[in-house]
């Protein structure tokens, strides 16, 4: 078998198939990274659009209990009502700045009887128990709350609840657990409450950084890997061509020319000795 006819063999067909599959996987992963970048950019846009927006009435932003659009994430809303302090919940496993902690959820009952779940902030895990040392008491009586909208969280299979602690802010489950008619499309991350509590309050949410992550560079790397696979296949084919056609006069001439060029590039013995002497000085 001479020339390039070896490329028609089953072995090289297999090499080509593996290269194509590898390239397809790389392109898929590159596209996935671009999709993640698009999600990160959309989140940055939501923060830029909604973070400094003026608060709107809760009923205007969410006309029904299950209403919520992802474009409303971080949008400030204002609601008036009274906290149901006896139904307060703690969401466990909420790290912040490397420290374990809890989110404090306090239901806010509105004038129409519906309930809006307010995340009043974060507290660290206590020093002697798996709970905060102290949970600041929510204001009693009528209160005006300004909070940022955020979608409820999914259920977590296999995660149980005990006492007043829950593992996820799944708003339908909270409704069933507390027996209340609360908003199920979104809850609120508190910005302020009037009147303010007498003592300290849990730590409020901080503004997310404007960082889209390294997804673009990762996507570029996957596309390069796909291209390199075909370059590597071509290099391997060229090497086998030289081996298969070693007795061809033309190929022998090319091999001799390559060897001559390599020798010209390689340093002579005198150059090596001069380099050793220069380093020793």
Residue 9 pLDDT greater than 90, yes or no? no
Lowest mean pLDDT across 54-58, 111-115, 125-129, 227-231: 125-129
The per-residue pLDDT for range 146-155, each reduced to its tens digit, is 999 999 999 8
Taking alpha carbons only, the member of 17, 26, 15 closest to residue 233 is 15
> What are the pLDDT digits (tens) for 253-271?
766 666 666 666 656 555 5
Q: How many angstroms separate the CA atoms of 149 and 23, rounded?
A: 42
**Residues 6 or more apart whose Cβ sits within 8 Å of residue 136:** 104, 120, 197, 199, 200, 201, 202
DSSP tag of 158: T
Sign of the alpha-carbon dihedral angle for 241, 242, 245, 249: positive
Q: How many CA atoms lie within 13 A of 24 on its CB side?
A: 6
pTM reported for the whole predicted model: 0.75
């Amino acid at each position: 078998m001479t020339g390039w006819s070896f490329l028609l063999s089953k072995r090289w067909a297999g090499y080509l198939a593996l290269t194509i599959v590898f390239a397809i996987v790389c392109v898929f992963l590159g596209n996935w990274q671009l999709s993640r970048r698009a999600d990160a950019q959309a989140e940055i846009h939501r923060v830029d659009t909604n973070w400094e927006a003026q608060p709107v009435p809760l009923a205007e932003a969410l006309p029904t209990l299950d209403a919520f659009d992802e474009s409303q994430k971080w949008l400030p809303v204002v609601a008036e009502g009274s906290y149901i302090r006896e139904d307060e919940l703690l969401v466990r496993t909420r790290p912040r700045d490397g420290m374990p902690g809890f989110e404090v959820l306090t239901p806010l009952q509105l004038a129409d009887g519906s309930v809006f779940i307010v995340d009043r902030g974060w507290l660290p895990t206590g020093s002697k128990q798996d709970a905060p040392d102290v949970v600041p008491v929510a204001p009693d009586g009528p209160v005006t709350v300004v909070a940022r909208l955020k979608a409820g969280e999914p259920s977590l299979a296999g995660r149980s609840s005990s006492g007043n602690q829950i593992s996820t802010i799944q708003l339908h489950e909270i409704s069933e657990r507390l027996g209340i008619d609360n908003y199920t499309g979104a809850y609120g991350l508190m910005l302020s409450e009037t009147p303010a509590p007498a003592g300290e309050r849990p730590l409020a949410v901080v503004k997310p950084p404007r960082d889209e992550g390294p997804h673009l560079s990762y996507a570029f790397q996957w596309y390069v890997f796909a291209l390199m696979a075909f370059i590597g296949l071509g290099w391997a084919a060229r090497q086998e061509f030289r081996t298969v056609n070693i007795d061809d006069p033309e190929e022998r001439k090319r091999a001799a020319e390559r060897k001559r060029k390599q020798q010209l590039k390689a340093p002579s013995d005198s150059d090596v000795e001069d380099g050793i002497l220069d380093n020793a000085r």
